[in-house]
């Protein structure tokens, strides 16, 4: 499925995105490194795990999507790939929840791309998929990513100590969450209403994880 709001598009990530995905990821390597998941050291005598290739990553995402456990999206802005958003850890039964992870090209940070992408994903999860709860887990030091959930009105639920292996160590994460009852009007509509109105006088003009 494809989700859109103006120039911002969420669509399934594809094998043919490899060249552009690698180029964007390479350009943003230093900016993204402090927030990206890493593979912890193996147990004594255990095998050393390797980061997957792009093709292995996409095959894994597709398999998880087909099993109903994940929704992997590429983010496009003004017709080009600028990031990735994944709804992962989808659990059904009495929980009906999932968590969102994302990253975006630094060159488009601050233009509302990431809050809009998250809002599109949340509305799709609540209205079309049937989830009841969405979480976003963020390192306390990640100011840009925290601003995304704050702009969207996610509720803070505290800290999970040493929650994920990030940038070579086990890192604490802040937990933000929403349930479907908290956004009856829809996340995208609430985000649009809260965004600053641009000035009417024309002239020069100029989140992540």
143-152 and 187-194 helices, crossing angle to 10°: 100
- DSSP string across 144-208: HHHHHHHHHTPEEEEEEEEEEEETTEEEEEEEEEEEGGG-TT-HHHHHHHHSPPPPSS-------
pLDDT at 23: 97
d(CA 19, CA 7): 21
Supply the pLDDT for residue 190: 94
How far apart CA 118 and CA 77 sit, in angstroms, is 14
Q: What is the pTM of this model?
A: 0.90
Q: What pLDDT, on the 0 to 100 scale, is given for residue 46?
A: 61
Query: Which regions of the chain are under pLDDT 70?
Result: 43-49, 196-209
**What's the confidence (pLDDT) of residue 48?**
60
């Amino acid at each position: 499925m494809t989700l859109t709001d103006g120039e911002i598009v969420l669509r399934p990530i594809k094998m043919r995105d490899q060249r552009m995905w690698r180029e964007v990821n390479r350009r943003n390597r230093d900016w993204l490194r402090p927030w990206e998941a890493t593979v912890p050291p193996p147990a004594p005598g255990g095998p050393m795990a390797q980061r997957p290739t792009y093709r292995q990553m996409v095959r894994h995402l597709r398999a998880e999507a087909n099993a109903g456990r994940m929704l992997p999206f590429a983010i496009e802005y003004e017709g080009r790939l600028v990031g990735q958003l994944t709804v992962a850890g989808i659990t059904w039964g009495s929980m009906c929840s999932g968590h969102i992870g994302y990253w975006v090209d630094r060159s488009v940070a601050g233009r509302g791309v990431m809050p809009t992408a998250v809002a599109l994903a949340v509305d799709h999860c609540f209205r079309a998929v049937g989830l009841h709860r969405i979480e976003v887990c963020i390192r306390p030091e990640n100011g840009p990513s925290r601003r995304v959930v704050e702009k969207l009105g996610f509720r803070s639920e505290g800290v999970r100590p040493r929650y994920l292996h990030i940038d070579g160590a086990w890192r604490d994460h802040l937990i933000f969450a929403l349930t479907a009852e908290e956004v009856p009007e829809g996340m995208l509509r609430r985000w649009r209403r809260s965004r600053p109105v641009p000035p009417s006088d024309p002239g020069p003009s100029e989140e992540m994880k």
